[in-house]
Amino acid sequence: MTDTQYFLQTIQSLLNAPKQGEHDPYRPVWHFAPRVGLLNDPNGLSFFNGEYHLFYQWNPLKCEHGAKAWGLATSPDLIHWQHKPLALAPTEDYETSGCYSGSAIEVDGKLELFYTGNVKYPQGGRTAYQCRAQLDEQGMVTKLGPVLSLPEGYSGHVRDPKVWKRGKHYYMVLGAEDLQQRGVVILYRSTDLHQWEKCGDIYGTDINGKQDANFMLECPDLFALDGRDVMITCPKTWIDSEGKATETFDVEVTLGELDYHQAIYNATGSRLMDHGFDFYAPQTFEDNKGRRILFGWMGKPDEFEPYQPTIEYGWIHQMTCPRRLTILNGELLQQPVEELATLRRNPLSGTCLSTSLVGLSAELLLQDIDGATIAIELSDDLSLLVTPSNITTRRKNLKTGLWEDKAWQGKVSSLQLMRDHSCVEVFINDGKAVMTSRFFGQANSSELQCGFRFESDKAVNYQHWTLEI
């Protein structure tokens, strides 16, 4: 298929999409979501040519996984997004099974794009090429082809290049699986972005004393922040005692130091980056203000996807809100970017034991809640329970109809809940932990469109705003 044929099919899909807007009870107001089709990983995050650029994995033809393209949207402020023409389509021999995830870096007035060309063989098996493309100031993308083929000693699962510059060299990390089915992160180095030299495996199973059971590390991100190096990975973990691989779709983060000379990432321990139901494949970038900003895919590639009701409206999945990352007292904090405060309308505040607050796109702050037990209801299928020792998200499974729990263990002092129709992001203790989840029971909500209801065993201070563009 040529680029032109793929673009024409995309246009046809857009023209024949179901009607949306006010009749869609799930579409977010201020989170980014696709007009049609399936969205997943954020890619190529950058500030370029005076605008924020959000590339993303996209199947514009179906609400299913398949041969992914790269979509693109731009924004002046991280809030108002404009959809742009398709950036990359899987039309070349080296990407027939999809233009998989990657990153971007500005060099000499062009935005250099790096992504994985995925090829699955009809007889079974697969390979991967790390590819390069360029976006110019006029918004035109030119593919430059593969710069790396599959390295020896690894399965066909080598992907998701994250590229940055340090000194005179460019560096790239790749997520990979070696031939012993161990998850590793590979480091490469280049002086010209075209010829790449392998430095070595810097992180993963059996490296530098690390012991785990991960058989793949997807979507690695490695960056310097507040005097530390930070590594984000998406591990896939062995669970079955008989050796069967089971995918958990978690996201882990660790603070450490990359030794560029020895090609090793020194770190101790790791922790989950999100404790909710829907967070995967995050990527970060540094913007023109020097901030480290993260977007994540608010979803997971699991068996429950086909049951999401947004499919009836022609789309599935969305991004998280943009989050600013900082380090305080050795802990990584995630907080909504400051720009989101400009959406606040209709302020309410008080101190009470219980209340109901109107607004399906809204923000709720609960402060000084140490030791309280608080039940928070957002819809018929999702609620939160705060106790003196933890917070739990409880959600009804779309496939089975059974209730499931996700918990964060620790004392909760404050909560910031950011709701946008069919999603909630819960920032615990000023961003020391986060819980991100989608839910769909709001279609059965009352005419008053109550966004939050809470009851507490002691009076708590709250602030509430509706969030409007």
The CA-based angle 92-94-95, given to 5 degrees, is: 70
Tokens at 464, concatenated: 């509430």
* Pair 182, 214: CB distance under 8 Å: yes
Quote the CA–CA distance of 338 and 79 in Å, as a whole number.
Answer: 11
Give residue 114's region: left, alpha or beta (phi > 0; psi -120 to 50): beta
Q: How far is CA 246 from CA 100, 235, 238, 266, in A?
A: 21, 11, 6, 27
Q: Is 430 a catalytic residue?
A: no
The residues near 206 (Cβ < 8 Å, ≥ 6 apart) are 182
Tokens at 294, concatenated: 């993260």
The residues near 404 (Cβ < 8 Å, ≥ 6 apart) are 277, 394, 395, 396, 397
User: Half-sphere exposure of 355 toward its Cβ, with a 13 Å CA cutoff?
Assistant: 17
Q: Which of 3, 24, 41, 381 is catalytic?
A: 41
Tokens at 67, concatenated: 């041969």
Phi, psi of 11 (to 5 degrees): -60, -40
* Pair 119, 96: CB distance under 8 Å: yes
Quote the CA–CA distance of 31 and 436 in Å, as a whole number.
Answer: 13
Name residue 264's amino acid. I
Quote the CA–CA distance of 222 and 232 in Å, as a whole number.
Answer: 6
Q: Which residues are catalytic?
A: 41
